[in-house]
Structure 1
Amino acid sequence: MVLSTVTARILTQDLWDAACKLSVHAHQLKEVSTVSEALILVKRSTSKNPNVPVGVFLDEKLVGFLLLLCDTLSNSNFWISRFFIDKQFQGQGLGFKSIPQIIALLRKTFPNADRLNLCVNPSNTPARKLYKKCGFVEQQNWIINGDNVWSIDL
């Protein structure tokens, strides 16, 4: 039995086209934007407040995408945005396996990072279960655009 390895790596521009081909199921479209929309944010980011595109890989195959965002108010506070696993690879535990890899990449890339946040639609039960299992805590009184904020101290 061959074990597959899940990794998270900064997406270089040569992989952007491949990332744009990733997609979610139709009923999930309201939860995440497209990779193309996310990459517009990358192009607009600054060195002070970077938006870093990250790929989730199963062995060497790109299977997921997210942005790591630096908070505009604190350079030690980061956000996961637009995180998803491609519809062909969902249900295999790759989201769960990728979170520690994403955190390790964040720590390596931004050693000053001390907190990681993300927003979850209150009706997105699978995402809520995933983030709780990974150690994120729902911030009871912090809501952004109707989504609950979840955080983990690094």
Structure 2
Amino acid sequence: MPDHPDIRVQPIDASLRSALLELAVHEAQYDFVGPIAVSLVDAEACEGSEPMAILRDGAPIGFYRLEYRPRSIADMDFERATVGLRSFFIDARWQGQGLGARALAAALADLAQRHPQMRDVVLTVNLRNTAALALYRRAGFRETGGLYHGGRSGPQHVMLCALPL
């Protein structure tokens, strides 16, 4: 097993779907992210949403979705071309190994490459989700100063990150 596994992201296709449905987070994390089955079906059904797989050496270890209508993330408009990120998670079996940071970096690089017209990424993170908040800050996300109150588990920071050029 390599010390530095290959971490990549890609749009979900039929070949990845069943393996993705096996992913889960720790029980307490369901306050912050929904079950993969719900998130995946919703992403596939929503126009302007793109479900994405996080792969470790080609095998799915995580999930997130892109929202090309960023207003759906925080119910606000943005000055620059912005894409939303939601439902980002690493499977419980792979957490605590630094893969979340590497996956987030891969997601941002993928966005910059596939969508060069985009300038920023927006997400929301629950105020109580300190681990995710630290991860996003390390990746370059900054709080906008506003809170989103539409989440099912309480208020969330609205965070923005400029995409690499």
| SS of the residue 1:81 aligns to | strand
Residues in 1 aligned to 2:162 and 2:69: alpha-carbon distance in whole angstroms: 14
Residues 92, 72 of structure 1: alpha-carbon distance in 2 compared, 3 angstrom cutoff: closer
Please give the per-residue CA displacement for 1:3-29, whole angstroms capped at 9, x wherever unaligned: 311111111122112111100011111
The equivalent residue for 1:26 is: 27
Query: Where do residues 5-44 of structure 1 align in structure 2 (5 Å cutoff)?
Result: 5-44=6-45
Query: Where do residues 43-58 of structure 1 align in structure 2 (5 Å cutoff)?
Result: 43-46=44-47, 50-58=48-56
Residues 80, 13 of structure 1: alpha-carbon distance in 2 compared, 3 angstrom cutoff: same
Q: Sequence identity, in percent?
A: 26
The equivalent residue for 1:86 is: 91
2:160 to 144, 151, 154: 151
TM-score, normalisation: structure 1: 0.89
Query: Where do residues 75-114 of structure 1 align in structure 2 (5 Å cutoff)?
Result: 76-114=81-119
Q: CA deviation at 1:120?
A: 0.5
* Residue identity in the other structure for 2:158: V
Q: CA deviation at 1:99?
A: 1.3
The equivalent residue for 1:70 is: 68
Residues in 2 aligned to 1:14 and 1:124: alpha-carbon distance in whole angstroms: 32
Preserved contact between residue 119 and residue 144 of structure 1 (Cα < 8 Å) = no
Q: CA deviation at 1:89?
A: 0.2
TM-score, normalisation: structure 2: 0.84
The equivalent residue for 2:57 is: 59
Q: CA deviation at 1:60?
A: 1.4
- Structure 2: gaps spanning 5 or more residues: 72-77
1:140 to 128, 139, 145: 145
Residues in 2 aligned to 1:147 and 1:33: alpha-carbon distance in whole angstroms: 15
Residues 91, 13 of structure 1: alpha-carbon distance in 2 compared, 3 angstrom cutoff: same
Residues in 2 aligned to 1:152 and 1:138: alpha-carbon distance in whole angstroms: 9
| SS of the residue 2:123 aligns to | strand
Residues 72, 85 of structure 1: alpha-carbon distance in 2 compared, 3 angstrom cutoff: closer
| SS of the residue 2:61 aligns to | strand
* Residue identity in the other structure for 1:6: I
Residues in 2 aligned to 1:83 and 1:72: alpha-carbon distance in whole angstroms: 15
Preserved contact between residue 70 and residue 122 of structure 2 (Cα < 8 Å) = no
